[in-house]
């Protein structure tokens, strides 16, 4: 038998991992199956060490359209660059496995996840991390796993592991959790405003449910795991210098330099301390061997700076800009800085600044989705832009980075929870977060700026939302949770924990851990402190905009909706689309749905109302008993034809025109005359009989026209005379 399969139960369904059958030349290769969703996951590392000074790890998530029996929709009909869903799925795996590579590991490593079958009920994104954990565990690559990953939903108050697509649509939360045997490593969540207690409960539940998967991977590693290769390391060239450099740095003013409020000033002051110390060791930087000595000293000094910053936080509750652990940086906000945008706002917190811009469009503006899901479009877009100038740097600019896509997705989940339904507010909404300055938590500033921009545009959101990034410094049993972290605290700390929500609860959450994991107690404390910070930020936002503006922005286009009898859609479209083209020529875009819903979109409210009135006229249905002021459009010996509204005439019989007997219709009425009429009858052919309401009861009513006889019931025609 080729290959070996390991199975366990997860969420009441079988999860199987098979190895030894496919892609056997790679260091670690497995297929993961859950329902009819199957992923091939491989892990490979280069033998030689990379010269880079960071971990060169890449994770690729490849969606194959054949997995759902589709041909790609691209011009070349083949898969191209990864879509947003694939990039987000790759990031989930990357964030789970990256912290567990050994310190100093510098071998280029690649994990490739290929979706080869998808049943559209069991999501592949949480299976990729499981496959990566298994492939790395049985490979020769040094790695500190195993880990596992599960999704948790909440339906009718109950937690559900790995809910199906149908179940997830009914869930109050979409929570993805990854962890080791001992602790949680990564959390990603979007929610319909849930409490902090519900979130912690779901995370604990997820961690307990993933233990069976960890058992399975450990069994695979014990039976099939290869011997890990040795890491080629040059070792620490300066182990004895750190204590000595620490004394010199403290004497040289490192503490005061670290507590400098502004980022540029702090960097300049800490660099001056470092350069002064290095100069005392290497007076002549041009001397032989000086470059290597300087590099070693810089490496040692970086450890001193990190250690001193962490000591200040833990022992003195002082942070890099002088704040304590619970203080949010100063905030200033400006609403509607852009006069022509539909909605805009600037949100500044410390040295992080985001310009949020809202644009309202029609259904034609929704983004098309071409992935392995059944979704075809999205009516809410959020784009997060992070230009190099926001950090005072010069870099090559190209397409969106994976980081930009990930940060934008988090902000999108946070805000989507409070948007009105499309039926309530029939606009496609695009939000753009332009990061103008960045020194920590730019994604959370995007949530705040985006919310303000929506309210400025007059979008009736359910509640304002805000976001705050939390940090953690932990040494042994001692730890401190930090509110509103700086970029430096993110880099040198142990956790990046972003929490978004309204005053009522959490709408989105993202957590990445750089240590072995955190306990539920630390999570509860971080969530409680995040709520305190979030309410403070919401209060600052309310000082500028307490809620959506009562009227839609004057620059925003107008959409009016109406519903007609579906059988009358043809009247709106017209032969060959002639009628709808005439309507759109009045200055509007029109969408018509099969159920008779029509939406008119125009930059001018007057034009939109004019088009709506025209459509109502075209599709108006007459009813017996209704009265109209009509216009005579034609006369005949037997009566007058009266136009009731555009496209609809009725017949006023000569006997119903006057109390007196008329020899001719023209004795009382002429073309162009206006008069009040009432519908007396509508026959099976839609023909309308009219009466004059002021004469009702004064003259005998005319017998209504009966049903049209079938051809077989008609009397035979007399023979034709030649």
Report DSSP letters for 368-381, one per residue.
E--SSSS--EESEE
Centre a 10 Å sphere on the Cβ of residue 605 and count the other Cβ atoms it contains: 15
**Residue given tokens 């997705």 in the structure block:** 409
Q: Is 496 annotated as a binding residue?
A: yes
In this structure, what DSSP letter does residue 696 have?
A: B
Q: What is the C-alpha to C-alpha distance for residues 129 and 145, in angstroms, rounded to an integer?
A: 11
CB-based contacts of 144, cutoff 8 Å, min separation 6: 100, 101, 102
Q: What is the C-alpha to C-alpha distance for residues 495 and 490, in angstroms, rounded to an integer?
A: 7
Measured torsion, CA atoms of residues 663, 668, 672, 678, in degrees rounded to the nearest 10? -100
Write down the number of H helices and E strands in the chain: 16, 29
Measured torsion, CA atoms of residues 695, 701, 702, 707, in degrees rounded to the nearest 10? 120
Contact 49, 107 (CB under 8 A): yes
Q: What is the C-alpha to C-alpha distance for residues 230 and 159, in angstroms, rounded to an integer?
A: 43
HEC secondary structure over 505-552: CEEEEEEEECCCCECHHHHHHHHHHHHHHHHHHHHHHHHHCCCCCCCC
Q: Is 371 annotated as a binding residue?
A: no
Taking the mean position of all CA atoms in its chain, how far away is CA 530? 21
CB-based contacts of 366, cutoff 8 Å, min separation 6: 377, 378, 379, 428
Contact 148, 210 (CB under 8 A): yes
Q: What is the C-alpha to C-alpha distance for residues 135 and 87, in angstroms, rounded to an integer?
A: 20
Q: What is the C-alpha to C-alpha distance for residues 186 and 512, in angstroms, rounded to an integer?
A: 5
Report DSSP letters for 482-493, one per residue.
EES--HHHHHHS
**Nearest partner of 146 among 340, 6, 336, judged by Cα:** 6
For the record, the structure tokens of 406 come out as: 């990930």
**Nearest partner of 347 among 409, 433, 288, 274, judged by Cα:** 433
Enumerate the known binding-site residues. 490, 496
Enumerate the known binding-site residues for Mg(2+). 490, 496
């Amino acid at each position: 038998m080729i290959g070996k399969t390991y199975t366990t139960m997860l969420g009441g369904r079988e999860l199987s991992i098979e190895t030894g059958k496919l892609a056997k030349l790679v260091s670690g290769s497995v297929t993961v199956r859950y329902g009819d969703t199957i992923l091939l996951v491989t892990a490979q590392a280069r033998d030689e060490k990379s010269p880079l000074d960071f971990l060169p790890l890449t994770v690729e998530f490849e969606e194959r359209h054949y997995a759902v029996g589709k041909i790609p929709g691209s011009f070349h009909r083949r898969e191209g660059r990864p879509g947003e869903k694939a990039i987000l799925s790759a990031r989930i795996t990357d964030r789970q496995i990256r912290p567990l590579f050994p310190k100093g590991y510098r071998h280029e490593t690649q994990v490739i996840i290929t979706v080869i079958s998808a049943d559209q009920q069991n999501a592949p994104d949480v299976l990729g991390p499981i496959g990566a954990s298994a492939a790395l565990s049985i490979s020769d690559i040094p790695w500190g796993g195993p880990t596992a990953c599960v999704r948790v939903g909440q339906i009718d108050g109950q937690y559900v592991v790995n809910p199906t697509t149908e179940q997830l649509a009914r869930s109050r939360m979409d929570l993805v959790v990854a962890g080791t045997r001992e602790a949680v490593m990564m959390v990603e969540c979007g929610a319909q405003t849930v409490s902090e207690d519900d979130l912690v409960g779901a995370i604990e539940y997820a961690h307990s449910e993933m233990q069976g998967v960890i058992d399975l991977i450990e069994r695979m590693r014990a039976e099939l795991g290869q011997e890990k290769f040795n890491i080629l390391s040059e070792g620490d060239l300066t182990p004895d210098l750190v204590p000595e450099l620490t004394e010199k740095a403290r004497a040289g003013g490192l503490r005061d330099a670290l507590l400098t409020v502004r980022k540029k000033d702090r960097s300049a002051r800490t660099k001056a301390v470092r350069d002064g110390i290095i100069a005392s060791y290497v007076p002549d930087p041009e001397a032989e061997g000086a470059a290597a000595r300087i590099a070693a000293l810089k490496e040692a000094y970086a450890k001193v700076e990190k250690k001193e910053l962490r000591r200040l936080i833990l022992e003195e509750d002082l942070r890099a800009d002088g704040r304590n652990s619970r203080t949010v940086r100063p905030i200033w906000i400006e609403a509607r800085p852009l006069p022509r945008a539909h909605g805009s706002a600037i949100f500044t917190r410390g040295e992080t600044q985001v310009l949020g811009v809202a644009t309202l469009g029609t259904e034609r503006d929704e983004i098309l989705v071409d992935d392995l899901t059944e979704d075809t479009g999205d009516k809410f877009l959020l784009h997060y832009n992070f230009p190099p100038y926001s950090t005072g740097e010069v870099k090559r600019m190209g397409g969106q980075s994976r980081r930009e896509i990930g940060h934008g997705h988090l902000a999108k989940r946070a805000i989507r929870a409070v948007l009105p339904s499309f039926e309530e507010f029939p606009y496609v909404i695009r939000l753009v977060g332009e990061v103008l300055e960045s020194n920590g938590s730019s994604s959370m500033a995007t949530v705040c700026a985006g919310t303000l921009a929506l309210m400025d545009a007059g979008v009736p959101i359910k509640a304002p939302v805000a976001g705050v990034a939390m940090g953690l410094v932990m040494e042994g049993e001692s730890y401190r949770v930090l509110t509103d972290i700086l970029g430096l605290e993110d880099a040198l700390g142990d956790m990046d924990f972003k929490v978004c929500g309204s005053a009522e609860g959490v709408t989105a959450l993202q957590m990445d851990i750089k240590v072995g994991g955190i306990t539920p107690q630390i999570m509860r404390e971080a969530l409680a402190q995040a709520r305190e910070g979030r309410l403070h930020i919401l209060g600052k936002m309310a000082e500028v905009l307490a809620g959506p503006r009562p009227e839609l922005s004057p620059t925003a286009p107008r959409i009016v909706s109406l519903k007609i009898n579906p059988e009358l859609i043809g009247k709106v479209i017209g032969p060959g689309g002639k009628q709808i083209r005439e309507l759109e020529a009045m200055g509007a875009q029109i969408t018509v749905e099969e159920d008779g819903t029509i939406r008119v979109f125009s930059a001018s409210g007057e034009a939109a109302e004019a088009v709506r009135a025209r459509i109502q006229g075209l599709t108006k249905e007459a009813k017996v008993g209704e009265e109209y002021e009509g216009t005579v459009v034609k006369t005949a010996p037997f009566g007058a034809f009266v136009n009731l509204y555009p496209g609809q005439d009725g017949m006023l019989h000569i006997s119903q025109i006057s109390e007196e007997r008329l020899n001719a219709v023209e004795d009382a009425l002429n073309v162009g005359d206006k008069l009040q009429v009432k519908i007396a009858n509508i026959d099976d052919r839609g023909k309308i009989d009219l009466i004059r309401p002021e004469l009702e009861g004064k003259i005998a009513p005319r017998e209504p026209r009966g049903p049209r006889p079938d051809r077989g019931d008609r009397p035979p025609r007399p023979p034709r005379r030649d």
